Chains A and B, each alone.
Chain A
Amino acid sequence: MKNLLDVESLSKEEIEDLLLLAENLKEILSRPIPKVPTLRGKLIALLFYEPSTRTRFSFERAAKILSADTLTFTAKGTSIEKGESLLDTVKNLEALGTNLFVIRHPLCGVPHFLAKYINLPIINAGDGTHAHPTQALLDLMTVKEKLGTLSDLKVAIIGDIKHSRVAHSDILAFQKMGSVVYVSGPGFLLPEPKEEEYFRLKPHSFKVCYNLKTALENADIVIALRIQKERHGKALLPSFQEYHEFFGLKPQHLGWIKEGALLMHPGPINWGVELDPELEKYPFQVILDQVENGVAMRMAILLRLLSGD
């Protein structure tokens, strides 16, 4: 593995390897002094061209536990305000001795663009509406931890599928591990009929549902998504109130899903829109476990990409 650009380019074996490594590394997090010297002397540049809380802190935490140094770069207060191109910025950081880049960017394919011109490992921390592979991997880790398996599960992803990079990566990741994925939400936020085929890795392993119940019925996992309104460019929904009424997850839906089914969310959550606040008390809600596993998974990814260089 040279880069981590998207889920599509990961094999099942590579995913299993990362899951195993992350599970082992998770133990470090519970030590009184959670720090190991493995990546001492390595410099990791975190390029965040888009707001981020969880992903940025999670990578920073993972790097620091492994004793790597970090340079954190956000779009504000740097030379991009002076018109410096992304490629120039990255080349400068390379000259400063960077060993690995983590990039989040509002445009699709920016990590792939950099990978063409930069000969260092690149991790995609979310590119536009395209992919968020590290989130998908930490989601897999959380499900495996809680349910003990990743195969033969029904995963329901509800919300703004079209604009969600998390959805795009999760759809592929869960299918690669042998599960089926159903998505539902407002029709214009679902994959177009011409796009469905790409998301379906095996016959019947992916389904677009216009009816919420079809997606949720007997689901083992429910992933709620935030409405990506900043990527819509204009108001697409008639109202958030109506969205909550017809597509938001509420206690009444718990009867449709399997007993003990997991409720997940990549964050940030808009309580009262995609999730009813009551669901915070749902016993199989694992939203903060996702955050914790995110650190372990990102440690695993950093190790794999930096080991042996």
Chain B
Amino acid sequence: MKILIKRGRLIDPSQNLDIVGDLLIEEGRIVGWERNIEISEKVELIWAEGLWILPGLVDIHVHLRDPGEEWKEDITSGTLAALYGGVLRVACMPNTKPPNDTPEVTNYIIKKAQEKGWVKVLPIACITKNQEGKELTEFGRLKRSGAVALSDDGRWVQNSELMKRALHYAKNFDLPVISHCEDHSLTEGGQVNQGKMSAKLGLKEIPAMAEVIGVIRDLLLAKDTNYPVHLAHISSKEVLPFLRWAKEEGIPFTAETCPHYFTLTEKEVENYNTLAKVNPPLRGEEDVYAIKQALKEGIIEVISSDHAPHSELEKKVEFEWASFGMLGLQTLFPLSLNLVREEILSPLKLAEYLILNPSKILKIEPPSFKSNVLAEVILVSPYEKYILTEDLIKSKSKNTPFLNQELQGRVKKVILKDKIYDL
């Protein structure tokens, strides 16, 4: 079967491509792109005027909750939400129950994703057994089972010697290491950003300093071991001078942020709104501005969703008992598109942050429009406005502060290998 996409805006960061043109797909593989491809007879034609055509997005930070918390999300529902969000490769965090700290769990995730998933799943395994920060997991065996990276997710490896050992050992297997930087001694019991909101709500604070201390230590370890560390979901402006310093020093690192950190402020948690309870917490207006500037500068070069489904059982409860996290897969693209509207990023740069850079960090071939690669193509209307209703959300959980809010930018079609999905 041949598919010809005509007259779309083709954006492929792997070849610095941003033109209006045509893309031809045959038997689930990219044939190539041209400014104009003649229409032959046996071809399925897709007119794409006014649409952006991109390789599938790669989300480096997703919680699929499977195994163990399938009432919140499972691999099927999570990958369906990904498909609707244009995310065709999902790197899933290991804080499942049990955590992904053994080849058995990694195998389970890969097998279930192959059988019941809608898009490709790339499991991230734990750095330490049971995320306890005490003993290293078996990096070699985990990699052989299909783990693409290592992270203890929300539990920062507190012990510096252990983290240093992890970086050295990860180098043996060429496994990327992702760090959620948080000095837990400063955030124990913390609920919201330190500042106006912690004062107003009386809640225990999560100071930006906890993130800063985590970032500095991990940068120093990356320098010492000469092995890159990927800094997950940077949220506070106080971190940024240290990232600039690290770039100047030539320290190997990459940094990521999420749409909520450049879209929302701590004001969202006013009146104890559990849907806006997330870790790291939503910060102030100055932080939102600074994160955007960091994206513009390129010291933060990845946007992930940190998709974190929780059901009403975890969210329609007392604020201090509510779980941290919000959905992200279906809002990743529309919210990131605001950066283009605000002229912070060009469309090509945005695609780099959502596709190419996460692929590089995970050391996988990025989805692209190069000839002969598997077709992973999304067609997006950057202008369409719509209300994010519960019905549109494909996750099992509906925990997002964007629920019933207007979004702009919608994934209309996905072509994944030989399948076309009209969304």
Residue ranges of A at the interface with B (Cβ–Cβ < 8 Å): 8, 85-87, 105, 107-110, 112-113, 116, 127-131, 165, 168, 191-192, 194-199, 233
Contact = CB atoms under 8 A, between A and B. Distances in A.
B17 interface: no
B203 A195 contact: no
Nearest to A199: B199
Contacts of A192: 194, 198, 205, 207
Nearest to B197: A198
B47 interface: no
B236 to A, nearest CB: 12
Contact of B318 (A8, A86, A131): A86
B251 to A, nearest CB: 29
B321 interface: yes
A267 B201 CA distance: 23
Interface of B: 188-189, 191, 194-196, 198-205, 207, 271-272, 316-321
B318 A107 contact: yes
Contacts of A109: 201-203, 272, 318-320
B93 to A, nearest CB: 28
A54 to B, nearest CB: 20
B271 A195 contact: no
B8 to A, nearest CB: 45
Contacts of A110: 318-319
B202 A129 contact: yes
Q: What are the 7 tightest A-B residue pairs by CB atom distance, in nearest-first order?
A: A130-B202, A198-B199, A109-B272, A195-B199, A108-B202, A107-B320, A194-B195
A112 B194 contact: no
A127 B199 contact: no
B260 to A, nearest CB: 21
B319 to A, nearest CB: 5
Contacts of B200: 8, 198
A131 B200 CA distance: 9
A129 B189 CA distance: 13
A197 B205 CA distance: 15
Given A107-B319, A109-B318, A128-B320, A191 B199 contact: yes
B287 to A, nearest CB: 12
Nearest to B195: A194
Contact of B196 (A116, A130, A165, A198): A198
Contacts of B203: 108-109, 128-130
B321 A107 contact: yes
Nearest to A196: B199
Contacts of A128: 202-203, 320
B47 to A, nearest CB: 47
A233 B317 contact: no
Contacts of B205: 192, 195
Contacts of A195: 194-196, 198-199, 205
Contacts of B271: 112, 116
A44 to B, nearest CB: 22
Nearest to A197: B196
A39 to B, nearest CB: 29
9 contacts: A105-B318, A108-B201, A109-B272, A109-B318, A129-B202, A191-B199, A195-B198, A198-B195, A233-B188
